[in-house]
């Protein structure tokens, strides 16, 4: 029986991993390190600080250019985005893995101290001093004495030591006597041994130049510890006034009461032996082999009490220091060992054993504590209950010393508790030390804080605790009491012989979930009595120790009973909060329950919300696996003495967490988005309206005016430059040029699909920009048809018109369908259409609504000759009545036959423009193929005004110069010359071919 064995697993929070990485970083790596940066592969020497001397081999002068070439323009943006993500992630990973801890100095030493009753027994203590980087003789820092839990060593608290050292404290950790490499035997926080050892360590700290002293030999020091270490902190503060503040955690007030509890008000001599825990502790301290414990450890993130590494360094030092170990006592001092053996054998404590345990207890000594005390106690703790902290708090506060109490959801059963809770404990501890030791920060408020398991964290798959605070410490009786009626008949229950089988309420160190979920609790039929309430009308937040009054009868006159309070859900599943039970030993009982005196039982203090609709169940059982029970079988009778169980409550408020902040952040985010959206829409709408309502007076009546248009694509390719033309009402204008001349680019700009690099386009005087409303007066076919393949032709047209949002009557579907000429095929799906059919449908779509300007890109593409002829007529007719048509084509004949005006472009520039007659109309020259060119030439030379242009191969190019071609032919025939062919020549044909024909491939897709 001793204090908490804590076997915290290897510290997993801040310490271990960064330190590992830091260690690796400090030592130059054995070989070169390959890293990829900025596209080149660099060979660094092992030490990153030498990177300027790194050797980098670039694969190309500009990796960025290389990548750019490798990727198409469109993909570049995506690739860049991906690269940004990768870089950010890489930076994040590097940032996370980089050692965050500043360089703490640590000094490990074996310190020999003299203690014992006369203060002259030397013992070697294994210590480590953690010094923050700033600590020096001329800049001393306050100190923290950090004690570990039972069964641990100084290594158990390393993570916490680093935490405090990182916050500017010199932290001294040591392995308590009887553990690890330290010498001596375990005296259970004996004032003459363990406590005096700690006093000598205070002397040692005071002698360190890096530590602030209040007076010579009096260091500025706080003492922090959990469980075994927590009791040490209390006892040290009671024995040595040099201590400036203490934070004892999950520890005892009266060790005798903790191991021999009796909840009907009797002392430890009448207590029921907590054999499960006691055996564990005795085993972990006395066994020279590895500690028999495994699993999750006790408190705290902070774990001041601190965990131990199971097994620690016991084997070796057991051999070196203990020499010939008594196999029944291990490293326990003889008196402690003997007391344990007596108690464990009988299940009862004799006065000597109680006195020995009381010697190791803060109870009765705490009136001497002057150091402000923060008591942290765990609710999930079947070893040292919340009541222990309550007793400590009352004793210390009685002398006016500042005391605060914090309950958290961990403990010897619950471990660190949820992360939110361990963070809260750390925060409270640091605040306490900062104020009372370092002298920084305001005096901590909130006399009492506690937390309750609020549910599961869906992300971490762990528990979530909600913190509450109250002003004034209410104790375990609460600030209010709510009686809840429970009922049930008197019941007879059997005590099993030798306590087997026994109910299971908790399993020491079974892990935090076992006692919180109802999986473990189990009562044996016939061995327990139940008394149950009606479903609660409203939820009750129980904070503190409920009480219930019972009567019991026993044929032997005595009974050991276990009283428990279950929370029973509507579906019947019962939960025993934290596996806590109240053992009682009753004596002088009558044989009949009617004759029994009422006994008030104080149930263990809990923090729990009993939901509305749940029942409260009081169970009285005869056995519990964790306790020693009478060996003899017996049958008891139990009944309720009063019909109510009293549930304590505490007036408290939730501690605001960042969750509240996040809720505000969410609200703020939504509001910001809403406001931002409204502002952006308003601004854009206004800007559009202003721009759209402007009219260029010179072009007000002109369907289309293109002014100095230039389009340069992102890769520097100039598609069109200086394009300048107008389309007037009644005109059919042909945009003529070879493939890739820039026609399509021009039309794209016209349709607002692309932004021009320079120049303007005006439609009826309105500046044309992407999405300009004036586009609604243009019908277009650009770059081929675009239809929804799964819809019929007719559905496509209606879907299109529906998208315009304009009245149905304006569409003129009948005219459009007539032009499309698809017949019944208009009801077939577009994906079944031929190229020509789609083309006709696209032209029909462009004509929907009879726009004032029709823009058609290669309209006859895919059409057969009769359809082409029909299309020409349609377009000519369309342009009458004030409308205008712009047609692009690479076919000279097409433009010649369809258009009234033509604009010839090549390589992005206009080479000619004007009426078609002027550009592509027939010229006065004619090409003749005759049987006798020489004679013909002679004949033609005689004709007035007719001249023969030089040519060869039996062909004559003749400039008729006004003379009718028939006249020229008749003249030749009359002269007996046979005329095979007469071909009229066009004026610009030669020029056109010279301009565009020789290199009609253009320079790419314009």
Partner 1 sequence: MMAQTTVEPNAGDSGGTPSGAAAGYRPFATLPFRAEFRRQASRRRTQLALGFMVLLPLIILIAFQFDSGDDDNGRGEFGSLVEFATSGGLNFTLFALFVSASFLLVVVVALFCGDTVASEASWGSLRYLLAVPVPRARLLAVKLLVALTYSALALLLLAGTALLLGTLRYGWGPLRSTVAAELEPGEGLLRLLAVLGYLAVVLLVVAGLAVLLSVSTDAALGAVGGAVLLWILSSILDQITALGVLRAFLPTHYSTAWLGLLSTPIQTDDVVRGAISAISYATLFWGLAFWRFTRKDVVS
Interaction residues for partner 1, span 338-357 (CB under 8 A) = none
d(CA 957, CA 947): 9
User: Which residues on neighbouring strands pair with residue 547, listed in sequence order?
Assistant: 602, 646
What sign has the CA pseudo-torsion 512, 295, 506, 189? negative
The Cα–Cα gap between 76 and 84 comes to 12
Minimum distance of partner 1 from residue 543's CB (angstroms): 16
Segment interacting with partner 1 (CB under 8 A) among 258-266, 766-774, 966-974, 980-988:
766-774
455 touching partner 1, by CB under 8 A:
yes
Question: Could you tell me which residues are beta bridge partners of residue 532?
Answer: 487, 617
**Residues 781 and 855: beta-carbon distance below 8 Å:** yes
Query: Between residues 638 and 733, which has the closer beta carbon with respect to partner 1?
Result: 733
Contact residue for partner 1 among 34, 215, 442, 458 (CB under 8 A): 458
Q: Check residue 461 for interaction with partner 1 (CB under 8 A).
A: yes
Tokens of 870: 């029909």
Judged by CB under 8 A, the chain residues 887 through 926 that form the site for partner 1 are none
- By CB under 8 A, the residues from 840 to 859 that bind partner 1 are 845, 849, 851-852
Task: Pick the closer one to partner 1 by CB: 673 or 993.
Answer: 673
Task: Work out whether 1003 is an interface residue with partner 1 (CB under 8 A).
Answer: no
- Chain centroid to CA 453: how far? 23
Q: Which tokens go with 6?
A: 């804590």
The C-alpha angle with vertex 960 and arms to 955 and 961, in degrees rounded to 5, equals: 145
Site string for partner 1, 568-607 (x = CB under 8 A): -xxx------------------------------------
- The residue range among 196-204, 323-331, 459-467, 495-503 that interacts with partner 1, by the rule CB under 8 A, is 459-467
Nearer to partner 1, 70 or 673 (CB): 673
Instruction: Go through 399-410 and write b for each residue having 16 or more CB atoms within 10 A of its CB, e for each that does not.
Output: eebbbbbbbbbb
Strands (E), 353-511: 373-378, 403-408, 448-457, 462-470, 480-487, 491-495
Bridge-based pairing state of the strands 547-553 and 718-727: unpaired
Task: List the one residue out of 233, 409, 305 whose CA is nearest residue 5.
Answer: 305
- Please identify which residue in 83, 498, 670, 679 interacts with partner 1, judged by CB under 8 A: 670
Count interface residues toward partner 1 (CB under 8 A). Answer: 92
Q: Which stretch binds partner 1 (CB under 8 A): 183-191, 409-417, 585-593, 706-714?
A: 706-714
User: Which of these, 855, 684, 693, 856, lies nearest to 767 by C-alpha position?
Assistant: 693
Interactions with partner 1, residue window 425-454 (CB under 8 A) = 454
Q: Does 981 bind partner 1 (CB under 8 A)?
A: no
Select the residue interacting with partner 1 from 36, 215, 324, 459 (CB under 8 A): 459
Smallest separation, CB 676 to partner 1 (Å): 9
DSSP letters for 2-42: -S-B--PPSP-SSSHHHHHHHHHHHSPPSS-EEEEETTEEE
Tell me how far CA of residue 802 lies from CA of 601, 799, 806, 848, 849, in angstroms: 81, 5, 7, 11, 12
Supply the minimum distance, in Å, between the C-beta of residue 789 and partner 1: 7
Q: Give the binding range for partner 1 (CB under 8 A) out of 111-119, 239-247, 312-320, 655-663.
A: 655-663
Judge whether 448 and 403 are in contact, CB under 8 Å: no
From 807, 866, 950, 952, residue interacting with partner 1 (rule: CB under 8 A): 807
Assess 686 for contact with partner 1 (CB under 8 A): no
Nearer Cβ to partner 1 (571/814): 571
Q: Cβ 459 to partner 1, closest distance in Å?
A: 5
Q: How far is the CB of 1001 from partner 1 (least distance, A)?
A: 20
Q: Are 649 and 542 in contact (CB under 8 A)?
A: yes
Closer residue to partner 1 in complex, CB, 303/853: 853
Rounded to a whole number of angstroms, the minimum distance from the CB of residue 279 to partner 1 is 31
Verify binding: residue 694, partner 1, rule CB under 8 A: yes
Stretch that binds partner 1, among 282-290, 339-347, 551-559, 565-573 (CB under 8 A): 565-573
Which of residues 289, 456, 557, 893 is near partner 1 by CB under 8 A?
A: 456
CA 753 – CA 766 distance, rounded (Å): 17
| Smaller CB separation from partner 1, 733 or 972 | 733
Check residue 97 for interaction with partner 1 (CB under 8 A): yes
Residue 772 or residue 868: which is nearer to partner 1 going by CB? 772
Residue among 399, 404, 411 nearest 364 (CA)? 399
Candidates 663, 686, 827, 835; binder of partner 1 (CB under 8 A) is: 663
Considering only 69, 105, 802, 877, the residue that binds partner 1 (CB under 8 A) is: 802
Determine, following the binding rule CB under 8 A, whether residue 740 of this chain makes contact with partner 1.
no
Instruction: Kindly tell me which of 235 and 565 has the beta carbon lying closer to partner 1.
Output: 565
Written as six digits, the tokens of 91 are: 């930076």
Query: Is there a contact between 794 and 802 (Cβ–Cβ < 8 Å)?
Result: no
878 sits near partner 1 (criterion: CB under 8 A): no
From the CA atom positions of the chain, what is the Rg in Å? 49
Where does this chain touch partner 1 (CB under 8 A) — which range of 142-150, 375-383, 552-560, 563-571? 563-571
Distance CA 437, CA 90 (A): 41
Position among 7, 766, 840, 1006 found at the interface with partner 1 (CB under 8 A): 766
834 lines the binding site for partner 1 (CB under 8 A): no
> Which listed residue (289, 364, 483, 770) binds partner 1 by CB under 8 A?
770
Residues 169-228 that bind partner 1 (CB under 8 A): none
* Shortest Å, Cβ 761 to partner 1: 12
Tokens 């310190």 sit on residue = 111
C-alpha torsion sign, points 230, 235, 238, 241: negative
* Closer of 422 and 629 to partner 1 (Cβ): 422
Site string for partner 1, 59-78 (x = CB under 8 A): ---------------x--xx
Q: Does 609 bind partner 1 (CB under 8 A)?
A: yes
Which residues partner with 610 through β-bridges? 540
Of 892, 688, 664, 867, residue with least CA distance to 771: 688
∠ CA 513-261-634 to the nearest 5 degrees?
95
x/- map, 107-146, partner 1, by CB under 8 A? ----------------------------------------
Looking at residue 1002, the DSSP 8-state letter turns out to be: T
CA-CA-CA-CA dihedral for 564, 567, 569, 571, to nearest 10 = 0
């Amino acid at each position: 029986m001793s204090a908490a064995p804590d076997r915290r697993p290897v510290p997993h929070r801040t310490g271990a991993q960064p330190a590992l990485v830091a260690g690796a970083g400090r030592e130059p790596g054995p070989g070169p390190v390959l890293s990829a940066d900025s596209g080149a592969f660099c060979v660094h020497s092992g030490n990153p600080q030498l990177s300027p001397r790194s050797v980098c081999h670039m694969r190309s002068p500009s990796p960025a250019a290389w990548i750019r070439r490798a990727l198409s323009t469109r993909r570049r943006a995506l690739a860049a985005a991906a690269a940004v993500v990768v870089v950010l992630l890489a930076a994040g990973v590097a940032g996370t893995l980089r050692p965050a801890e500043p360089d703490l100095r640590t000094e490990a030493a074996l310190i020999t101290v003299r203690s014992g009753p006369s203060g002259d027994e030397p013992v070697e203590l294994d210590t480590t001093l953690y010094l923050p980087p700033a600590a020096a003789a001329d800049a001393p820092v306050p100190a923290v004495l950090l004690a570990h839990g039972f069964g641990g060593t100084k290594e158990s608290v390393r993570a916490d030591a680093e935490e405090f050292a990182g916050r500017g404290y010199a932290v001294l950790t040591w392995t308590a006597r009887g553990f690890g490499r330290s010498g001596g035997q375990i005296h259970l926080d004996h004032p003459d041994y363990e406590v005096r050892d700690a006093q000598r360590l205070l002397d040692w700290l005071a002698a360190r130049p890096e530590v602030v002293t209040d007076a010579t030999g009096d260091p500025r020091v706080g003492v922090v510890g959990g469980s075994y270490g927590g009791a040490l902190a209390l006892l040290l503060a009671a024995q040595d006034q040099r201590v400036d503040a203490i934070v004892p955690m999950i520890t005892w007030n009266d060790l005798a009461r903790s191991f021999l509890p009796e909840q009907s008000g009797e002392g430890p001599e009448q207590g029921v032996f907590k054999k499960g825990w006691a055996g564990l502790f005795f085993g972990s301290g006395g066994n020279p082999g590895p500690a028999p414990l495994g699993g999750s450890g006790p408190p705290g993130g902070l774990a001041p009490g601190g965990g131990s590494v199971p097994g620690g360094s016991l084997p070796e030092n057991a051999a070196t220091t203990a020499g010939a170990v008594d196999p029944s006592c291990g490293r326990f001092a003889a008196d402690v060992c003997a007391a344990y053996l007596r108690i464990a054998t009988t299940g009862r404590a004799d006065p000597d054993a109680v006195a020995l345990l009381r010697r190791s207890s803060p109870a009765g000594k705490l009136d001497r504590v002057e150091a402000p005390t923060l008591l942290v106690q765990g609710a999930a703790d079947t070893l040292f209950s919340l009541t222990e902290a309550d007793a400590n708090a009352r004793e210390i506060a009685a002398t006016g010393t500042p005391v605060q109490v914090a309950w958290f959801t961990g403990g010897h059963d619950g471990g660190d508790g949820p992360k939110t809770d361990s963070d809260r404990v750390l925060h409270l501890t640091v605040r306490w030390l900062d104020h009372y030791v370092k002298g920084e920060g305001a005096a901590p408020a909130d006399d009492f804080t506690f937390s309750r398991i609020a549910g599961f964290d869906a992300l971490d798959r762990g528990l979530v605790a909600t913190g509450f605070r109250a002003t004034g410490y209410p104790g375990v009786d609460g600030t209010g009491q709510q009686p809840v009626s429970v009922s049930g008949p008197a019941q007879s229950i059997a005590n099993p012989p030798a306590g087997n089988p026994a109910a299971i309420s908790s399993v020491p160190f079974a892990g935090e979930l076992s006692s919180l979920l109802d999986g473990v609790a189990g009562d044996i039929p016939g061995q327990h009595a139940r008394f149950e309430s009606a479903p609660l009308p409203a939820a009750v937040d129980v904070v503190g120790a409920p009480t219930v009054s019972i009567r019991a009868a026993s044929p032997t006159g005595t009974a050991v009973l276990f009283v428990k309070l279950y929370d029973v859900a509507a579906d019947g599943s019962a939960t025993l909060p934290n596996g806590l039970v109240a053992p009682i030993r009753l004596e002088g009982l009558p044989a009949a329950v009617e004759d029994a005196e009422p006994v008030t039982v104080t149930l263990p203090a809990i923090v729990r919300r009993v939901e509305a609709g749940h029942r409260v169940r009081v169970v009285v059982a005869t056995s519990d696996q964790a306790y020693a029970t009478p060996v003899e079988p017996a049958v008891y009778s139990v009944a309720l003495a009063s019909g109510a169980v009293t549930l304590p409550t505490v007036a408290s408020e939730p501690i605001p967490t960042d969750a509240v902040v996040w809720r505000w952040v969410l609200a703020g985010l939504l509001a910001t988005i809403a406001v931002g959206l409204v502002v952006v829409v308003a601004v854009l709408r206004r800007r559009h309206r202003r721009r759209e309502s402007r009219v260029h007076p010179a072009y007000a009546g002109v369907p289309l005016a293109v002014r100095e248009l230039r389009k340069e694509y992102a890769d520097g390719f100039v598609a069109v430059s200086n394009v300048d033309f107008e389309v007037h009402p009644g005109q059919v204008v042909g945009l003529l040029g070879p493939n890739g001349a820039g026609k399509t680019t021009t039309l794209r700009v016209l349709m607002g699909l692309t932004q021009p690099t320079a120049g303007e386009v005006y439609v009826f005087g309105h500046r044309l920009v992407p999405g300009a409303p004036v586009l609604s007066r243009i019908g277009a076919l650009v770059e081929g048809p675009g239809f929804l393949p799964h819809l019929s032709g007719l559905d496509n047209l209606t879907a299109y018109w529906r998208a315009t949002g304009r009245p149905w009557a304006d569409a003129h579907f009948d005219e459009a369908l007539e032009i499309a000429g698809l017949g019944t095929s208009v009801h077939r799906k577009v994906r079944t259409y031929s190229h020509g059919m789609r083309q006709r449908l696209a032209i029909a779509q462009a004509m929907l609504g009879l726009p004032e300007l029709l823009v058609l890109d290669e309209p006859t593409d895919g059409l057969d000759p009769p359809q082409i002829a029909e299309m020409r007529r349609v377009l000519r007719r369309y342009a009458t009545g004030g409308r205008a048509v712009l047609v692009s084509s690479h076919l000279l004949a097409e433009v010649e036959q369809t258009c009234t005006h033509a604009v010839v472009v090549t390589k992005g520039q206009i080479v000619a423009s004007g009426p078609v007659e002027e550009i592509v109309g027939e010229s006065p020259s004619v090409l003749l193929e005759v049987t006798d060119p020489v004679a013909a030439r002679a004949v033609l030379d005689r004709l007035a005004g007719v001249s023969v242009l030089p040519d060869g191969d039996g062909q004559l190019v003749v400039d008729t110069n006004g003379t009718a071609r028939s006249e020229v032919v008749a003249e030749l025939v009359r002269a007996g010359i046979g005329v095979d062919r007469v071909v009229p020549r066009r004026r610009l044909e030669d020029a056109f071919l010279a301009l565009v024909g020789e290199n009609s491939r253009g320079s790419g897709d314009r």
